Amino acid sequence: MDSPKERLYNGIVKENPIFVLVLGICPTLAVTTSAMNGLGMGLSTTVVLALSNALISALRKMIPDRVRMPAFIVVVASFVTIVQFLIQGYLPSLYDSLGIYIPLIVVNCIILGRAESYASKNPVIPSLFDGLGMGLGFTCSLIFIGAVRELLGSGSIFGAQILPLADKAAGKAGYTPISIFVLAPGAFFILALLVVIMNIVREKQAQKGKPLAPIQNSCLCNDEDSLEAAMDSDNPNVKEAVSNLKAKQKEASGK
């Protein structure tokens, strides 16, 4: 499966990072309060995925095996810094919405996972399209989850009002938004429902002899070595983001 078309299909459908592999759940739950946020986060990750895959593939024979993870993070952090500055300069409202999750792209388990499992072992062109496929699959998933949450939570998609809202004062009948879906619990409800649907699809595909990729049991974004390596980055925003993440993990474990 090394042709560009096959790599794109693999990332979007067969090994979709959210619905099939169940990776990158942290940003998925956090930023999908609207379809626009999902689109912004997805495209940002896609750019980083494609470019980092291509560069890591080009340098794969030069990077010593014992320092490959820090080297991958340096490459990814460089592209994340560029993307972060572009969003901050040209899309400040999106930058404010995504917040800490832009620099945390550096330790996104999808990006580091593809760098480790594919880009470091394959030529540049297939690696580039592998990153594009995975990124587009991630983007489509975020947009879909964000659109469902936004529709149920406010009756709109991409800011456009789809369901006319009720107005009790004027006696106008219409849709009453379910505000919980734009809050944190709503993300879990929607994701759980979609995972159930995906499990049904997985079983049917397995019965047809066309099994999907298995769910991944681990995530590099929770790996202590990856976080420590990210702390060595020259990007102060990355260091601050990882420090905040580790502080939240420590606080949660203390409770």
Measured in degrees and rounded to the nearest 5, phi and psi for residue 149 equal -65, -40
| E-state strands within the chain | 156-157, 160-161
Average pLDDT over residues 222-229: 50
The band of 215, judged by pLDDT with boundaries at 50, 70 and 90, is low
pLDDT at 25 > cutoff 70: yes
pLDDT for the residue numbered 227? 52
Residue 251: its pLDDT value, please? Answer: 62
**Cα radius of gyration (the chain):** 19
CB atoms within 10 A of CB 7: 24
Nearest-10 crossing angle of helices 35-58, 68-90: 140
Q: What is the mean pLDDT of residues 200-213?
A: 78
Q: How does DSSP assign 41-65, residue by residue?
A: HHHHHHHHHHHHHHHHHHTTTTS-G
Measure the CA angle with vertex 48, ends 43 and 49; round to 5°.
95
pLDDT at residue 217 tops 80: no
Over 50: is that where the pLDDT of 222 sits?
no
Is a pLDDT exceeding 60 seen at residue 253?
no
C-beta of residue 105 within 8 angstroms of C-beta of residue 44: yes
Q: Which of 146, 115, 140, 144 is nearest to 128 (CA)?
A: 115
pLDDT tens by residue, 114-158:
998 899 999 999 999 999 999 999 999 999 999 999 999 989 999
The rounded mean pLDDT for the chain is 83
The answer to which of 14-28, 135-149, 159-173 has the lowest mean pLDDT is 159-173
197: pLDDT confidence band, cut at 50, 70 and 90? confident
Tell me the C-alpha to C-alpha distance, in Å, between residue 160 and each of 154, 178, 184. Answer: 10, 17, 22
The amino acid present at 187, given as its one-letter code, is: A
pTM for the model: 0.79
State mean pLDDT over 77-83: 95
User: Mean pLDDT, to the nearest integer, of 173-198?
Assistant: 86
Closest Cα to residue 103, out of 248, 221, 247, 250? 221
3-state DSSP of 31-45: HCCCHHHHHHHHHHH
- The pLDDT of residue 240: 64
Pick from 14-28, 114-128, 182-196, 218-232 the range whose average pLDDT is largest. Answer: 114-128
- Residue 160 and residue 2: Cα distance in Å, rounded? 40
| Polymer length in residues for the chain | 255
State the average pLDDT over residues 162-177. 81
Q: Measure the CA–CA gap between 135 and 133, rounded to whole angstroms.
A: 5
Mean pLDDT of the 35-39 span: 94
CA angle (82, 87, 53) in 5-degree steps: 40
121 burial (CB, 10 Å; 0-12 / 13-18 / 19+) is exposed
Position 206 pLDDT exceeds 90:
no
